[in-house]
Copies of this chain bind each other. A is one copy, B any other.
Amino acid sequence: MAKTNAEKTIDKIVKAAEQRMRAGGFHGFSFREIAADVGIKSASVHHHFPTKEDLAVAAVRAYVEREIAVLGDPNDPKRKPSQLVASYIDLFRSALRDDHAMCLCGLLASEAATLPPRVTAEVQKFFERNLEWTTAVLKRANPDMRAKDVRAKALMMTATLEGALLGSQCQSKLDLFDNVARELKASLSL
């Protein structure tokens, strides 16, 4: 089923909002900038997303859905846990290498205190979904480990990657990220 013109416009708006937010956060972009990116007027953006909160929520949802889809099933027997971890790391790495940008939800999480409530809620979902996925993978890799310890390892994995993204993009050095990723892999003993 082909997309209607309206759906194409909406996709373009959401994509532009994601990119702008990944560069400057929720307070760092405007409807007029988004409109210019897409090639329409700001009133037309408001027609699809009445408020800035609506637009940000849509952008975060799309981002999270895309991420979860790329990661796939953590219990897929055709993929080894070590491969899944590697693909998880590579997902974060690609944000830096391909988009030269932060993880959208990492950036928004840091602004959480000043975000509209529904945006904060969507960002929280990102971390919950990540924790489910990473916990499932690490549970497969460490079947004998206590659930609490698996969870702690899973938390650390995401935290380390988000933090590595922070530091690396500030200094725009991909090798910083790679050093951290290598060390992380080692500490997970996979």
| Band of interface residues on A | 35 or more
User: Which label, helix, strand, loop or mixed, suits the secondary structure of the A interface?
Assistant: helix
Report chain B residues within 8 Å CB of A107.
Answer: 110-111
Known contacts: A110-B110, A114-B23. The answer to whether A180 contacts B156 by CB under 8 A is: yes
Number of copies: 2
Residues of B within 8 A of A4 (CB): none
Q: Does A152 have its Cβ within 8 Å of any Cβ on chain B?
A: yes
Give the docked Cα–Cα distance between A168 and B33 (Å): 31
3 nearest A-B pairs in the assembled complex, by CB-CB distance: A163-B163, A159-B163, A24-B114
Residues on A facing B (Cβ under 8 Å): 23-28, 100-102, 106-114, 120, 123-124, 127, 151-153, 155-156, 158-164, 166-167, 169-171, 176, 179-180, 182-184, 187
